[in-house]
């Protein structure tokens, strides 16, 4: 059986595993291994290169090559070995890899924990819960600030955590998913514009923008199409998407945030604090109504509906190509 067909079958099973089961509690996630590799490699490179803008940019570039190379070639070698032993072993291992690299259920669960904390224990518990899924400072957030932070991370991670890895796994299998996750994890760890990473994280941040360019736009368009299935405002989603999709320093992040803001008829983004420093950001969406904890549940439904549409769309294309080519 052709490996291309096997990979498609594995991805289908992996998507079902993520949608239904998600990440088992307490297990060592592949992203943790990528994160450990990034930390170790960063420490080693910082000792080798001078602490000058040029030296740090060079070190950051080598970090990107080493981390993406290891994170892609090791899983690829493992999968080829498994397929060599037996087709079913290869499909099984690749399905587990694909399921692990998708984050639909875990994203919905973790954002749901924020809503539950707000509704049952109050704003302080909500701040603690949302600090587990966002990178900004949360100590002084109001209840509306906590809700916005949770909704924004669901919107952004609809692309980063679900659609983009699915996109690369459709193209390149489980190893492609690992490649994407290594890029995305590097950006989340070293892609900051602070004193420590201003130069060192340049290569990681640029590569993350490149690999997310197409998936972010696919995610936004599918989110718009998913709105009627969730009882949300498709016209508002499209209108705010057209108007505000570039209201972010990143060329990609506001694509899905704009759709989410329009679909929910709320205002998102705006100024935020990171590592004790205020970062001024434009707002996204219209303040038609105030945000509320229930918006976290609504954002999760839209994320799941978008993921289902994407799975049908991408696997349908892959199935068509298999039928035509093979």
- The DSSP secondary structure of 241-278, one letter per residue, reads HHHHTT-SSSTTHHHHHHHHHHHHT--EE--EEETTEE
Average pLDDT on 47-51 reads 92
Task: Tell me how far apart the alpha carbons of residues 72 and 133 are, in angstroms, rounded to a whole number.
Answer: 26
Q: Which two tokens stand for residue 109?
A: 């669960």
pLDDT over threshold 80, residue 272: no
Residues forming beta bridges with residue 279, ordered by sequence position: 272
Average pLDDT on 247-263 reads 90
Average pLDDT on 193-211 reads 91
State the burial class of residue 325 (Cβ atoms within 10 Å of its Cβ: 0-12, 13-18, 19+).
Answer: exposed
User: Which residues in 15-48 are b (16+ Cβ under 10 Å) and which e?
Assistant: bebbbeebbeeeeeebbebbbebbeebbeebbee
Looking at residue 319, its pLDDT comes to 82
Residue 24's pLDDT band, with cuts at 50, 70 and 90, is: confident
Looking at residue 271, its pLDDT comes to 63
How confident is the model over 203-216, as pLDDT tens digits? 999 999 999 999 99
pLDDT over threshold 60, residue 190: yes
Least confident segment among 26-30, 66-70, 81-85, 139-143: 26-30
Looking at residue 28, its pLDDT comes to 78
**Do 100 and 207 contact (CB within 8 A), yes or no?**
no
- Model pTM? 0.91
- The residue whose two tokens read 């809503």 is 115
pLDDT over threshold 90, residue 10: yes
C-alpha dihedral (199, 201, 204, 207), degrees to nearest 10: -40
How confident is the model over 147-157, as pLDDT tens digits? 999 999 999 99
Residue 139's pLDDT band, with cuts at 50, 70 and 90, is: confident
Domain parsing of the chain, residue ranges = 3-325
Give the ranges where 158-201 is alpha helix by DSSP (H). 164-190
Percent share of the chain, pLDDT over 90: 72
pLDDT over threshold 90, residue 138: no
């Amino acid at each position: 059986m052709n490996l291309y067909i096997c990979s498609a079958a594995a991805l289908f099973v992996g998507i079902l595993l993520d949608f239904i089961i998600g990440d088992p509690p307490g297990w060592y996630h592949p992203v943790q291994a990528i994160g450990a590799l990034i930390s170790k490699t960063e420490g080693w490179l910082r000792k080798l290169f001078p602490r000058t803008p040029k030296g740090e940019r060079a070190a950051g570039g080598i970090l990107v090559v080493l981390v993406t190379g290891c994170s892609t070639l090791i899983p690829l070698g493992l999968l080829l070995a498994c397929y060599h032993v037996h087709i079913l072993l290869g499909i099984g291992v690749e399905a587990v890899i694909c399921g692990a690299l998708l984050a639909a259920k875990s994203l919905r669960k973790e954002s749901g924990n924020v809503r539950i904390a707000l509704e049952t224990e109050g704003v302080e518990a909500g701040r603690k819960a949302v600090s587990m899924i966002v990178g900004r400072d949360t100590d002084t957030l109001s209840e509306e600030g906590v809700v916005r932070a949770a909704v924004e991370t669901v919107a952004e991670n609809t692309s980063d955590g679900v659609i983009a890895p699915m996109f690369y796994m459709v193209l390149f299998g489980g190893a492609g998913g690992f490649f994407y996750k290594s890029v995305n994890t590097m950006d989340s760890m070293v892609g900051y514009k602070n004193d420590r990473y201003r130069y060192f994280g340049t290569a990681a941040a640029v590569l993350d923008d490149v690999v997310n360019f197409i998936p972010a736009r696919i995610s936004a368009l599918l989110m718009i199409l998913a709105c009627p299935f969730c009882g949300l405002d498709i016209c508002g989603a499209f209108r705010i998407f057209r108007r505000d999709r570039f209201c972010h320093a990143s060329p990609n992040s506001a694509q899905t945030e704009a759709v989410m803001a329009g679909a929910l008829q709320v205002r998102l983004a705006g100024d935020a604090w990171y590592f004790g420093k205020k970062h001024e950001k434009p707002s996204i969406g219209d303040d038609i109504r105030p945000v509320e904890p229930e918006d976290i549940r609504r954002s999760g439904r839209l994320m799941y509906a978008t993921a289902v549409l994407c799975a049908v769309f991408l696997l349908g294309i892959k199935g068509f190509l298999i039928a035509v080519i093979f």
